[in-house]
């Protein structure tokens, strides 16, 4: 029983090219950059900035974003090389299959299911809150029982808006990746315009004395803030799940991953500096800090635009997260570790249609019935774990003499992968103990699924059995 059997990079690329399971290659560098920005700018910048400033970092929130951004830049360089060398759906899961073997790949895949699944659900719940706040301004209210997840103490039972937006986005994704990417690009441009509008107006109301004391909670507060706002960067790795639907992936994947991350990092740093310069940091403990800051300087009309931008921003995050989840299921299923229904491709639209609707149902159940306010940390630890494994994977890849040497290459190896590993590892240590316990429980459940189903149905296992029968 070989738990660490590997798939060669050549075999992975050949399997991806089989005509009966091919996804349509429709995306270029611009589409990938828009997918990345669409996934990154959303809940983090519109929601988490206030809490992180008020409770952890104060005005030094800018340093928290820089620390998290550095961890992500180092990890993004590693992702870019893998995406260039192994242009196959599945992100870190697929890369691990080529470097560490099946068991580690399954653990990474199961870890990413946690990241994408709960992130989708949390984002859908966040969208519901913003949407209900917007329509309330027009005197429209959902019945309380249908306005939020199950919480008898507050008289709520199911979050209907969260379920509705999940179904709408899932339907759009079944219509083809090109239509989805075009829709995403339009919304990302609107979202960027809203963020730039906040910067353009807010910079004139900054009062430098609000930045003092700069680090009220010490460096430990900055570090905790960095682990908290890391959620704001989650998404650039979703670009790598699109590898099989990209024209010239060796060139376009690195451009999409790195450009989207650099643009978002620059915007985060500027927005956090302006935010803490306008409003004294203790007052930022609100769910809509960007709109709150504009209300604080009596720009109420602009705050309405920002709220609309937040809804658009969170919609694009949801689209890319659900997209990433479906492509992850697709890749794992194609390897036999999950049932084949997840890798069935619709002939007309060339999308994994059944897989998308199954994902839709799962996300709807979680976002509709379960309060997910405390799951950001669990999403963070899943992502950081994946980033650490990808960084180590680059070191393995460079020792693989059969690996392609064309395409994007991480500079300064082994230093960049080592920095990525230690930066991400440091951030995981800032997360609460309960998060670690929940993460370990999730991985144990994953091992049960692997040994109960995946190991026996693995395509690699079947090939080994066929060779034995022939022998």
Comparing 132-136, 165-169, 212-216, 384-388, the range with the smallest average pLDDT is 132-136
| Domains of the chain: total | 1
Instruction: Give the confidence band of 276 by pLDDT, cuts at 50, 70, 90.
Output: very high
Measured between alpha carbons, how far is 131 from 53 in angstroms, rounded to an integer? 24
Residue 430 lies in a domain: yes
Q: Would you state the pLDDT for residue 366? A: 82
- Asked if residue 228 is part of any domain, the answer here is yes
In a domain, 471, yes or no: no
pLDDT, tens digit, 9 for 90 and up, residues 345-381: 887 777 888 999 999 998 898 888 876 556 667 778 8
Residue 340 CA to residue 330 CA, distance in Å, equals 9
413 assigned to some structural domain: yes
The domain of 285 spans 9-16+26-466
Please give the average per-residue pLDDT across 179-184, as a whole number. Answer: 77
Express each pLDDT in 105-124 by its tens digit.
999 999 988 888 888 887 88
CATH label of the domain that carries residue 455: 1.20.1740.10
Alpha carbon distance 55, 72 (integer Å): 23
Angle between helices 29-40 and 249-278 (to 10 degrees): 30
* 387 is a domain residue: yes
The answer as to whether 70 is a domain residue is yes
* pTM, two decimal places: 0.81
Q: How many CB atoms lie within 10 A of CB 354?
A: 16
Q: What is the pLDDT of residues 36-74, one digit of tens each?
A: 888 788 777 777 788 889 989 999 999 999 999 888 889
Whether pLDDT at 21 is above 80? no
16 secondary structure, DSSP code: H
Assess if residue 291 is contained within a domain: yes
Q: Is residue 3 part of a domain?
A: no
């Amino acid at each position: 029983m070989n738990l660490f059997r590997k798939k060669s990079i050549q075999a992975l690329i050949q399997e991806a090219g089989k005509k009966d399971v091919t996804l349509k290659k429709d995306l270029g560098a611009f589409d990938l950059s828009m997918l990345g920005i669409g996934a990154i700018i959303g809940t983090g910048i519109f929601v988490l900035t206030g809490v992180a400033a008020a409770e952890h970092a104060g005005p030094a929130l800018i340093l928290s974003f820089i620390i998290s951004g550095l961890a992500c830049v180092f990890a993004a360089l590693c992702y870019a090389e893998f995406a260039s060398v192994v242009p196959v759906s599945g992100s870190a899961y697929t890369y691990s299959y080529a470097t560490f073997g099946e068991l580690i790949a399954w653990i990474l895949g199961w870890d990413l299911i946690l990241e994408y699944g709960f992130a989708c659900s949390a984002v859908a719940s966040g969208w519901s809150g913003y949407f209900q706040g917007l329509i309330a301004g027009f005197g429209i209210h959902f019945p309380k029982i249908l306005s939020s997840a199950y919480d008898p103490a507050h008289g709520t039972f199911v979050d209907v808006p969260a379920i509705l937006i999940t179904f709408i986005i899932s339907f759009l994704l079944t219509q083809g990746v090109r239509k989805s990417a075009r829709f995403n690009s339009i919304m990302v441009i609107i979202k960027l315009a809203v963020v730039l509008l906040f910067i353009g107006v807010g910079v004139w109301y900054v009062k430098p004395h609000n930045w003092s004391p700069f680090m009220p909670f010490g460096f430990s507060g900055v570090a905790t803030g960095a682990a908290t706002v890391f959620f704001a960067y989650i998404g650039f790795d979703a670009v790598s799940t699109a590898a099989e639907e990209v024209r010239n992936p060796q060139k376009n994947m690195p451009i999409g991953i790195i450009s989207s991350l650099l643009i978002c990092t620059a915007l985060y740093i500027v927005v956090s500096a302006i935010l803490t310069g306008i409003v004294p940091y203790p007052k930022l403990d609100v769910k809509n800090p960007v709109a709150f800051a504009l209300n604080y300087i009596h720009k109420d009309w602009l705050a309405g635009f920002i709220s609309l931008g937040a809804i658009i921003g969170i919609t694009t995050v949801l689209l890319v997260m659900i997209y990433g989840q479906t492509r992850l299921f697709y890749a794992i299923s194609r390897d036999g570790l999950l049932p084949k229904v997840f890798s069935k491709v619709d002939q007309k639209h060339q999308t994994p249609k059944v897989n998308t609707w199954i994902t839709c149902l799962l996300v709807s159940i979680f976002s509709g019935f379960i309060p997910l306010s405390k799951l950001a940390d669990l999403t963070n630890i899943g992502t950081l774990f994946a980033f650490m494994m990808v960084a180590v994977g680059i070191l393995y890849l460079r020792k693989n003499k059969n690996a392609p040497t064309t395409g994007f290459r991480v500079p300064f190896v082994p230093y960049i992968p080592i920095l990525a590993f230690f930066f991400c590892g440091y951030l995981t240590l800032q997360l609460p103990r309960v998060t670690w316990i929940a993460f370990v429980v999730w991985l144990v459940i994953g091992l049960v699924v692997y040994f109960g189903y995946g190991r026996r149905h693995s395509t690699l296992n079947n090939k080994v059995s066929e060779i034995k029968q022939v022998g």
